[in-house]
Amino acid sequence: MLLFDSTTLLLLVFTIVGLCFRRTTPWLGVLLLLTLLVMYLHLVVEGFRWQMIPVYFTLMVCTMTAVARWIDLLADNLSLLRSKLFAGLSAGVGIALLILTTLLSYAFPIFELPIPDGPHAVGTTELHLIDHSRAENYTLNADDRRELMVRIWYPAEQPIADTLVPYWRHAIERSKAVTNNTPLPWFTFTHLGRVPTHSYWQAPAAQGETQYPVVLFSHGIGIGWASANTTLAESLASNGYVVVAIDHAFIGSASIFPQGRVVVFDQATSIAMSQPASPKVQDIQNKLHSSTDWREQVALFSKATTLAPADMLGHVTNALSIQVEDQIFVLDELERLQQDQRNAFAGRLDLTRIGLLGMSLGGSAVLETCSIDSRCKAGVNLDGFHPKHIGLSLNQTPFLYLNRFDNLLYRSNFEKSEAAAYSVRISGATHFNFFDFTIMSPLYRRLGVLGSIDGERMQKIVGISVVSFFNQHLRGELHSTGWTRLNSYLEVTFTRVDGIASEV
C-alpha cells in the first residue's frame, strides 16, 4: 500500500476504537479530523482506488456517528449507540471492512517497477502504423488493412518536468478488455493506471551516441500486450538501446488505437485454445517435458501433430505467421522512420545492429523471423516454442534462450545452431514469470500461477541475461561481465554452444 492510504487505514482503526467508548472526547475529534486530512491527501496525491472503497465507506460512517453524538441529533437513541452490543457490532463491521481493504490492496497492489540499471534516462512514445499492402485476417471486411500500435522506449535526456508515464495508459479501456468474458468486474485492473514507471512521456532523445542499436519486441498470445515487459524494455533503453514493442492486434489482450478504438483478443482463437487436449496428446506432452533428447522430441512432436486438434494448432499457427509478418513490416517501417526528418528518431537508429526479442509465441515468431530476415543480427526467446520450429536452422544468427527449468523444447534449436547459442534455464519459474506479471501481485504466487522464485530476482536474471547478450552481439562487447554475474544466482543453469568465449 502507499503512504497516505496505509496511514488512513491505521488512523481509522484508532478512530473505530475511540468510537467504542461511551463518551466522545476531544481527542477523538482531533483523531477524526486528522484521519479526514490524510484521506484528503490520499485522494489528491495518490488518487481514488477501488480497493479503498471499504475504507471510504467506513470513514463516512464513523464521521456521521461522531457528528451525531456531538450535536446530540440521536438523543433518543443515545443509550443504544452507547450500548456495548451496538459498539461491538459497529467496531466489528468497521474492522472487517478495513481487513477487506487490506486484502484487496494485497491482491491488487500499486507495485513498484525496478529502477533501470543503465546510465540513461528513459523516454517513451507510441506510433500508429498501417500496412496498406496487407488485409486484416481477423475481420470480415475485405477492405480492412492490418493496423498496429507500437510502443517505443529510448535513451532520453532527463526532462525538467515530471512526466513519468503510468504502467497502463488508457487503464479503464484496457481493464474492460482484459476482464471481458470473465467473472471479474471491469475495474479490476484499473489500478495499473496508477502504477508509476521510470519512463518519461515523449522526452527528448539523448544526445550521446549518434545512433543506437534497435531491439524489436513481440508479446505472447492471449494475455500479452506491447508493454508487458516494461521492466526489461526500460533496462535496455537505459543501457543505450531503442526498444520497439509491437501490440499485435487480435493476438494480444487488447490494442487501443487513436480515438479510443479498442481491439481485443480474437474470440475464435481463444475458444480453440481453451479446448482440452486428448488423453493421448496429454501423454505425449508429458513425455516431451521429461525428454532431454531433441531427436526424441522431433518424433514425439511429429506424433502429437497428427493427434492434436487441428483447430487449436491452426489458430495458433496462423497467429504466429501474422506476428512474423508484423515484425517484418515494422522493420520496414523503421527504415522509413530513419529517413523521415519529421520524427524524433530520424538518423538515430542503427539499423545495422537490430536484435529481436519475444516472449512466449512472440519468442517463437522471433525464431522464425531471424531465420528468414538477415536484418536480425541477434535473437532472444523468452520461454516460447511452436512445433513447426523444432530443428529450425538459424543460419548465422546468435541466439539466447531463456526458459523455465522444466521447459526443454528449445533443445533442437540450441544444439543445432550454426551460430553462438546460449541457454539460461531458471528453476522456480513458471511461464508467467517471464514478463511483468511476476511482480504484479503476491497473490499470483500463492495461487500457483507464478513459481517460487522472487519476482524482482527473476527480473534481474532476465535483465542481466538479455542486456549482456545484446551487448555482446550488437555492441561487440566480447568481455561483458554480465554473464559472470549470473553465477550468483543459484536458480540459473547456463550453457552455450559453438565454443563462444564467456566468463561463466
- Report pLDDT digits (tens) over 397-429: 999 999 999 888 888 888 888 888 999 999 999
Q: At what angle do helices 3-19 and 84-107 cross, to 10 degrees?
A: 170
3-state SS assignment for residue 207: coil
- Which residue's entry shows cell 520496414? 332
Mean pLDDT in the chain? 84
Residue 88 lies in a domain: yes
Same domain, residue pair 218 and 128 = yes
Give me the pLDDT at residue 278, please.
77
Domain match, 48 and 134 both: no
Note whether residue 192 is domain-resident: yes
Say whether 151 sits in a helix, a strand or coil. Answer: strand
Q: Which CATH number characterizes residue 318's domain?
A: 3.40.50.1820
Q: Which of 356, 475, 492 is nearest to 428 (CA)?
A: 492
Q: Is the dihedral of CA 61, 62, 63, 65 positive or negative?
A: positive
Does residue 113 fall inside a structural domain?
Answer: no
Q: Is the per-residue pLDDT at 21 higher than 80?
A: no
When pLDDT is cut at 50, 70 and 90, the band that residue 310 belongs to is low
- CA nearest to 123, candidates 210, 240, 225, 254: 240
Per-residue confidence (pLDDT) for residue 213, from 0 to 100? 96
Verify that 219 and 333 share a domain, yes or no.
Answer: yes
Q: Is residue 114 part of a domain?
A: no
**Do the bridges between strand 376-382 and strand 349-359 make them parallel or antiparallel, or are there none, so unpaired?**
parallel
Number of domains in the chain: 2
Name the residue among 431, 379, 428 with its Cα closest to residue 409: 431
**Residue whose C-alpha is closest to residue 101's, from 196, 3, 6:** 6
| Domain that residue 78 falls in | 3-107
| Structural domain includes residue 150 | yes
- In the predicted structure, residue 71 carries a pLDDT above the cut 60: no
Say yes or no to pLDDT of 503 above 50. Answer: no
When pLDDT is averaged across residues 474-495 and rounded to a whole number, the result is 85
pLDDT at 279: 83
Residue 334 has pLDDT above 70, yes or no: yes
Q: Do 285 and 309 fall within a single domain?
A: yes
Q: Is the pLDDT of residue 57 over 80?
A: no
- Grid coordinates representing 266 are 480474437
Burial class of residue 8, CB neighbours in 10 A (0-12, 13-18, 19+) = buried
Spatial distance between the Cα atoms of 472 and 290, rounded to a whole number of angstroms: 32
Looking at the fold, whether 92 and 149 belong to one and the same domain comes out as: no
Q: Is the pLDDT of residue 395 over 70?
A: no
411 and 312 in a common domain:
yes
pLDDT score for 458: 97
Over 90: is that where the pLDDT of 234 sits?
yes
225 and 90 together in one domain: no
**Is 196 inside any structural domain?**
yes
Shared domain for 71 and 213, answered yes or no, is no
For position 70, what pLDDT does the model report?
Answer: 57
Count CA within 13 A, CB hemisphere, residue 150: 23
Give the per-residue pLDDT at 188: 86
If asked whether residues 88 and 137 sit together in one domain, one would say no
Write down the pTM of the prediction.
0.84
pLDDT at 55 over 80: no
Q: What was the pLDDT predicted at 439? A: 95
Same domain, 361 and 485: yes
Q: Are residues 261 and 351 in the same domain?
A: yes
Domain co-membership, 280 together with 374:
yes
Q: In which order are the strands placed within the sheet that holds 164-166?
A: 164-166, 196-201, 121-135, 145-156, 242-247, 212-218, 349-359, 376-382, 399-404, 421-426, 492-497
